[in-house]
Amino acid sequence: MFTSLRDRIFLLRDLTLRDLRLRYVGSIMGLFWSVVHPIFTLLLYTLVFSQVIRPNWSQLQTIGSFASYLFAGLLPWIQFHESITRCATVFIDHSNLIKKVKFPVELLPGSMVLSSIANQLIALCVFLALLLLSYHNASLSLFWLVPAIALQMLVTVGAGLLVASSNVFVRDIHQLLGVGLPFLFWATPIVYPPASVPARYQWISAANPLTHLVALYRAALLGGQAPETAALLYLSLFCAATFAAGWALLCRIRGVLSDYV
Amino acid sequence: MNAIELDRVTKVYRLYQGSRGIVKEILLRRPYHHPFWALKELSLQIARGVTFGVIGNNGAGKSTLLKLITGTTTPTTGSLRAPGRIASLLELGTGFHPEFTGRENIHFTAVTMGISPKEARKQVEEIIDFSELKEFIDQPVKTYSSGMYLRLGFAVATAFDPDVLVIDEALAVGDQSFQKKCIDRIHRFKEAGKTIVFCSHNMYQVRQLCDQAVWLHRGECRALGVASEVVDRYSDFLRESKTEARPVHSPRHPLSSIESATLANLTGQPCDQFLTGEGLQLRIRARFAERFIPNLGVAIVRNDGVVCYCTNTAEDHFLLKREGDGIYTATLEFPRLELLSGQYHFSIATTDERSLQAYAIVESTCSFTVRNIGSEYGLVRLHHQWR
């Protein structure tokens, strides 16, 4: 059973499709919600941060370019936030499956991440269409999306495995995320420009890998300068380390997982 | 060739008092749990094609053993080898998602079992046919009755040519005609040389279905081997524990006493193990005061207190043999003992001339074990014929 990679891929695919369908099961607009949701979030943030609170966006003149800037940061954040939150309870939610059949359980958090990435890609396509129609011509910088999405998946799966595994034993992890994730959101320059962080807090911003991920997205979607090599290296190492830690933790608890869910 | 091999498998569950214990244990590197030994050093081999029974009281470790074989949990120490595709009929249908249709759930369950979509598609129609859910198969399973749920669960679990089938008590599900289909299918698996692991409290079923069995008691193996023998030993144990062990008392009655009682087979060799249909002799020496007409009463009692048979010398018009000095002897012979498997003992009494009043009584003496071959079950073999 599950000796071949193919079987795993089939299961991962089915788990992901199942999750995507489950999100919208019974709703009239179905998958359309995955477009509506990020666009409304974007509209809301754009409205608040261009009309009400006005950080010092020196280089961004129009509301349109501000919206693009905001979106490039919000997009990976929404996916990250959603994946991590859902991963926290994924083993407990699927306890009937884990207790009943022997299967590669890492595919459960994996499918959560994949389904939210799929959602993100839909929103991204809509955004790109708008972007190409209104402002830019297709730019080579879009190729930065490939490493950006790859690294994002790596870090999300890693963090997802960490919270999924630990939450089985200590259920406070799920609650802790509710407190910790907003903190991470505000520690990442998403709704404010990185430059506006006071000098003595710059190190927080620099240490936060999400800062660099968001920067990579901005480089890809908005053109401009390519990300720094050092930042990219740091981001890659962090993502790989997170994945390794998540995988190691899962391997430790795999044998007894079904005894605790 | 073995389908399943366990080598000194131990399973310890850690019982924590909430998450706090776990956190303390991780931080302070000291145990903060009570270990619960669900299985202790269990070694057994199940050969391919064998139907293997798992019996024992509640909490004996039966379901832990099944979970280990299914692979949903792993041994704490020791090793377990179970190559081959294992189909579990435990908790049928629990993997289904209520929002999805029967057909979608068939596909998904197949994929979680490691079956390729291609192979799954080949079996779908057969599964739908077997489950008799043709007109409901494209409805969400949340609309199904619990019987329909189980039918679909059974059909899917057994559809993909498993090498090992793990079954518990709920051998058959649904209405009577569907139960028949389930049992037929399980028999076909048995005939096709598949390995079946079967856990049940129904000793008759285990005797009927299983070739070999293990009796687990508090996580330890009490008996392992041929199913009928293991079942008999477990049944003995069950009957034993139902009745409190009564003290064997042999009061010295002033007028009479039982000096000795010994068991033997028909050739006169001392013996306490018999097969159903074999002969048994009980030799009794008793002392009587001279003014008595000596009589003896004998009862065969099973270890749960059921009196199987009583007789006495007055009833049978038998005169005890006098050996002088108030000592009398008698040998009670059963040329064909028609008791079935179980543990039995004799109660012997010296009685008055009409065998109404008992004087000296010896209870629970001359214990012996009876075993029967074949699937007869109960207390005694009754002579019968089929027409």
Return the CATH fold of B248-371.
Coagulation Factor XIII; Chain A, domain 1 (2.70.50)
Residue among B26, B67, B72, B163 with most chain A CBs within 10 A, to mutate: B72
Give mean pLDDT, residues A126-148.
79
Each residue's pLDDT tens digit, B64-77: 999 999 888 899 99
Domain ranges for chain B: 2-241, 248-371
Rounded distance, CA B337 to CA B280, Å?
7
Each residue's pLDDT tens digit, B34-44: 888 999 999 99
Average pLDDT value over all residues in chain B: 86
Q: Pick A101's closest partner by Cβ from B74, B107, B112.
A: B112
| List of chain B residues whose C-beta atoms are within 8 Å of the C-beta of residue A25 | 99
Burial class (CB in 10 A: 0-12, 13-18, 19+), B87: buried
CB B76 within 8 A of CB B64: no
| A-B C-beta contacts closer than 8 Å | 75
| Cβ contact B94–A96 (<8 Å) | yes
pLDDT exceeds 50 at position B247: no
For chain A, the DSSP string reads: ---SHHHHHHHHHHHHHHHHHHHHTT-SSGGGHHHHHHHHHHHHHHHIIIIIS----TT--SHHHHHHHHHHHHHHHHHHHHHHHHHHTHHHHTHHHHHH----TTHHHHHHHHHHHHHHHHHHHHHHHHHHHHTPPP-GGGGGHHHHHHHHHHHHHHHHHHHHHHHHH-THHHHHHHHHHHHHHHHSSSSS-GGGS-GGGHHHHHH-HHHHHHHHHHHHHH-SSPPPHHHHHHHHHHHHHHHHHHHHHHHHHGGGHHHH-
pLDDT exceeds 50 at position B22: yes
Total-model pTM: 0.76
| Cβ contact A258–B112 (<8 Å) | no
| Cβ contact A6–B73 (<8 Å) | no
Each residue's pLDDT tens digit, A46-71: 888 777 777 666 666 666 677 788 88
Using a CB–CB cut-off of 8 Å, the residues of B that contact A are: 13, 19, 22-23, 67, 70-74, 85-86, 88, 90-91, 94-95, 97, 99-100, 107-108, 111-117
| List of chain A residues whose C-beta atoms are within 8 Å of the C-beta of residue B90 | 100
Q: Within the 51-80 window of chain A, which residues sit less than 8 Å (CB to CB) from chain B?
A: none
Give mean pLDDT, residues A191-198.
83
Q: Pick A10's closest partner by Cβ from B74, B99, B117.
A: B117
The closest of B359, B233, B376, B380 to B292, measured between CA atoms, is B359
Sign of the C-alpha dihedral computed for residues B357, B360, B366 and B369 taken in this order? positive
Q: How confident is the model at residue A160 (pLDDT cuts 50, 70, 90)?
A: very high
| % of chain A surpassing 70 pLDDT | 93
ipTM, interface predicted TM-score of the complex: 0.77
Q: What CATH number does the domain located at B2-241 have?
A: 3.40.50.300
- Among B54-58, B167-171, B327-331, the range scoring the smallest mean pLDDT is B167-171
Domain ranges for chain A: 2-260
Each residue's pLDDT tens digit, A70-129: 888 888 999 999 999 999 999 999 988 888 888 889 999 999 999 999 988 988 888 888
- Among A88-92, B28-32, B105-109, the range scoring the smallest mean pLDDT is B28-32
| List of chain A residues whose C-beta atoms are within 8 Å of the C-beta of residue B112 | 11, 97, 101, 103
Q: Which run of H or of E encompasses B270?
A: none
CB B72 within 8 A of CB B234: no
Alpha-carbon distance A242 to nearest alpha carbon in chain B (angstroms): 20
